[in-house]
Amino acid sequence: MFAEFGYGVLVVSFIVAIYSGVTAVYGAANKSPALVESARRAMLLTFPLISLSAAVLIYLLINNHFEVAFVYEVTSRSMPTYLKITAWWGGQAGSLVFWSWLLAVFTSAVTLRKWDRDIEFLPWVITVSAVTLIFFLGMSVFFENPFTRFWLVGGNVEPSMFAPANATVFTPQDGQGLNPLLRHPGMVIHPPLLYLGFVSFVIPYAFAMAALITGRTDDRWIRISRRWSLWAWLFLSFGLVLGGRWAYDVLGWGGYWGWDPVEIAAFMPWLTGTAFLHSVMIQEKRGLLKHWNMILVILTYALVIFGTFLTRSGVLSSVHAFANSPIGPFFMGYVTLTLVVSVALVIWRWPILRSETEMKSMLSREALFLLNNLLFMSILVVCFWGVIFPLISELFTGQKVTVGPPFYERATAPLFSALLFLMAIAPLSAWGHSTIQTLGRAIWKSAIAALVVTVTLFFTYTQIPGALIGFFLVALALFATLHEFWRGARARQKAQNENFFTAISRLMGRNRRRYGGYIIHISMALMAIGILGIEIFQKETQGTLSQGEQLNIAGYAIEYRELASWDSQGEGVNYTRAVLDVYENGIYLGQLNPRIDYYFDSQQNMTIPGLRSTLRDDLYVLLVDWQPVSNLGATFKVYVNPLVNWLWIGSLLFLFGIIFAAWPEPDEAEEPARVARSVSQTSAAD
Amino acid sequence: MKVNKFFIGGGLILAAVVYLIASSTQASAEYFMTVDELKADGASAVGKSLRLSGAVIGDTIQYDAETLNLTFEVAHVSGDNNEIEAQGGLAEVLYQAVNDPSRQRVSVVYVGPKPDLLRGEAQAIMTGKIGADGIFHADELLLKCPTRYEEAVPEQAATN
């Protein structure tokens, strides 16, 4: 009854989305504001409709309606209610509805904005959003229906939406339960944040397409989509960071990023999005790279769909992938279709997207931004190559060959290093024209400071060349950026006669984008410290200890005390928890409690590390095995991850930086002319 | 002239990226192999980075908790997903592989804690190298126990 109702509403929203898309095109073609308005209202209607359908699904999830196949797959009686709700995005069928629902949220929000200055975009923004929505709803309606039920037909159980002949509904006693790895708080919000990031990139794409179709290719679309992209970028970044932290906390391999195809799938739109956020500034300030920005937005959208496809289709095996599904070819078809149509539109509008000026100096800000874009695209190419390489090699040689993390690390390390270097110098160069001399004058102090740091590290910490180069670049980027803050604040202090702190807070408040960007640069440098630490200096050891025995690693001693194992019937979990004493150079530091949680319903383990975290290093201990008689011994794997905390500190600062930059400015309505702005912002290399 | 320097710069970057990708691919490529392919290749597979998949034979698992020495044998299963689906899914294919004495087998050595999922009829995906003695030395060991998650239709149905 509920299942039919939920499905019915889903079908209705599918039809409404089709109506909205068709009416919008028809209204635009016939210049009929009434039709466009009708399309707009239909689009608005999809949000309550999909919400209703989702509410039914959540009702079924919460109330143990295991006759619904999706509910059976992702919940069980022992799961707490909040996890039953989040199970909505814990499986294939539900997560597609979740995608559609988020898209409806965003398209509703965008159709409610003030359209007076850009009304000609409206029908096309609706059309593009509607097409995307139709695609995802279609997936749910025809292939991955979350309301499919089990039917008992002559002794066999069959999943089906509608009752087969002579069938009765079959309700299993209990569900399979959500994969325990997905029950971690980080995992509860990691997928929705990634999806938010994915889905909100649909809007910039919709505006880009609207600009191409209407031929209004001035800065308007870029101004609107810039802010959307920034929020999308925030969610995507947040999702990626949380995913890393989750992996570190529960996957039990001492790492945070495994170059898994699905991680890369989420990382690729982040790369093009980041490139776009940089190159969009060149278009705003200098009127250059208009074609390029279009291509970046299109690419980001295609990568978003492609990323969803990789997680959904089971084409690539990965910890993230859901089971095999028939929807793969449809996703591929859709990605291809949108790419072809979008690129055709860009080619059609090529002449009116001409640059307004020319790029002259190789060291000008715009040239360095272009270089930054090339580096991001190079990393993208590396990632893309790594993901599709097994498919390509099989096609051409018949031999299935794959590349693992070493490939990505080796190929991207020089590119990331170059990005760090650019991060140090690009903000110091001027728009239009810069020379070695002006740049040198701006950076020599930071360079000397960075050199001092590097030499100090050489004598006290490490002699590995790669690490030293890395630390030098990090220090250079940090000092150069901090110097920018200092210089800006000093200039304002003198001009306005304010004290230093008033000056720096007003300076930042008045130039949110610029200083938000700098905060992000600093956070990137901090994250780089953590990554260098764990990638280059990670140490590990393992061993089986009997009570009172010790394992030694990097100055730490870990002594095995005891182990306890008990069932928690209410939660349906068995906990096995070890108690370890930790010493450093003979001094007692405290206890660690690595444990293994065994979930009865899904028969799966979750390995929770015992973690002691400091700014210098993390001691990360995993319980891997134990003897039946627990005091005989237990096996531990121990990692020491130097500096990794800086990765998380940097991540937090990173999110703060994006929010700072994206926060609406009060006087945004008045946009000064391009010339005036470019003069005021050329202050850098003075 | 001005255009040229941008093109030269871009060209240099492009060349560097192509070189990076090509050399890194070569340095870290891993060849997917099934047990049959490995046996057929014989000595030519020795020393290459391989990714081998097979069905774990439960009786052969031996583990020394003191030295963390883990040995077991895997039997051949197809590497083609479509073929596996056609034969009734991964769980069925693994079951048949383990219970078919005529299948080719390879001995595997792994040093490290014994993974919880290692048991008979699990699919092991191992990266490592094959020694001249025909024993596969795994550096990394991934396991899949498909029966647990992919069973879309509840079993208890038929009996109830």
Q: Are residues A207 and A115 in the same domain?
A: no
Please tell me the predicted confidence (pLDDT) of residue A523.
Answer: 96
Q: A324, B81: Cβ pair inside 8 Å? A: yes
Q: What is the pLDDT of residue B53?
A: 85
For residue B17, what is the nearest residue in chain A, using CA coordinates? A378
Q: Which of B28, B65, B153 sits opposite A157 (nearest CB)?
A: B153
Lowest mean per-residue pLDDT among A196-210, A306-320, A487-501? A306-320
Residues A109 and A190 in one domain: no
Of B10, B32, B114, nearest to A402 by CB-CB distance is B32
Pick the CATH number of B29-147 from 2.60.200.20, 3.30.420.40, 2.60.40.10, 2.40.50.140: 2.40.50.140
On whether the CB atoms of residues A626 and A595 are closer than 8 A, the answer is no
Of A110, A335, A375, A59, give the one whose Cα is nearest residue A224.
A110
Residue A412 inside a domain? The answer is no
**Contact criterion met (CB below 8 Å) for B117 and B111:** no
Q: How confident is residue A645, by pLDDT bands cut at 50, 70 and 90?
A: very high
Does residue A470 belong to any structural domain of this protein? no
Task: With beta carbons under 8 A apart, name residues in chain B contacting A627.
Answer: 65
What is the nearest CA distance from A568 to chain B, expressed in angstroms? Answer: 20
Residues A241 and A509: their CA atoms lie apart, in Å, by: 26
Query: Residue A405 gets which letter from DSSP?
Result: H
Q: What is the pLDDT of residues A360-415, one digit of tens each?
A: 777 888 889 889 999 999 999 999 998 888 778 877 877 778 888 889 999 999 99
Same domain, yes or no: A546 and A591: yes
Q: Where do the structural domains in chain B lie, given as residue ranges? A: 29-147
Are A371 and A422 in contact by the 8 Å Cβ rule? The answer is yes
Enter the pTM of the model. Answer: 0.87
B132 and chain A in contact, CB less than 8 A: no
- 3-state secondary structure at position A510: helix
User: Is the model's pLDDT at A564 over the cut of 80?
Assistant: yes
| Nearest Cβ partner for B17 among A359, A381, A389 | A381
Beta strand A156-160 with A539-545 is unpaired
Query: Within a domain: residue A375?
Result: no
**A227 and A295 housed in the same domain:** yes
DSSP labels, A276-297: HHHHHHHHHHH---HHHHHHHH
Among candidate residues A90, A118, A143, the one where a domain is terminated: A143
Average pLDDT over residues B59-80: 86
N residues, chain A: 686
Nearest-Cα residue of chain A relative to residue B22: A411
pLDDT of residue B11: 87
CA-based nearest distance B62→chain A, Å: 15
Q: Identify whether residues A23 and A133 lie together within a single domain.
A: yes
- pLDDT per position as a tens digit, B93-119: 888 888 888 888 999 999 887 777 788
Chain B hits for A150, Cβ within 8 Å: 153-154, 157
Task: Find tokens 């003979």 and name the residue.
Answer: A586
Query: Rounded mean pLDDT of A617-628?
Result: 86
- pLDDT average, residue stretch A490-510: 86
Assign A674 a pLDDT band (cuts: 50, 70, 90). Answer: very low
Mean pLDDT on A184-210: 88
A11-40: pLDDT as tens digits:
999 999 999 999 999 999 999 999 999 999
Is the residue at A123 inside a domain? Answer: yes
Q: What's the confidence (pLDDT) of residue B146? A: 61
Q: A347, A365, A383 — which closes off a domain?
A: A365
A138 shares a domain with A220: no
Q: Which residue of A has its CA nearest to B151?
A: A73
Q: From B85, which residue of chain A is nearest by alpha-carbon distance?
A: A324
Residue A53: what pLDDT? Answer: 97
Q: Which of A157, A288, A357, A422 to mutate to test the interface with B (most CBs of B within 10 A)?
A: A157
| CB pair distance less than 8 Å for B65 and A544 | yes
Q: Residue A650 domain-assigned?
A: no
Does one domain contain both A191 and A287? yes
- The answer on A341 and A216 residing in a single domain is yes
Whether residue B157 is predicted with pLDDT greater than 50 in this model: the reply is no
Radius of gyration of chain B (CA): 21
Residue with tokens 């409690």: A593
Domain containing A81: what range? 1-143
A565 and A633 in a single domain? The answer is yes
Q: Using the beta-carbon criterion (under 8 Å), do B157 and A605 form an inter-chain contact? A: no
Q: What are the two backbone dihedrals, phi and then psi, of residue A239, each rounded to the nearest 5 degrees?
A: -60, -45
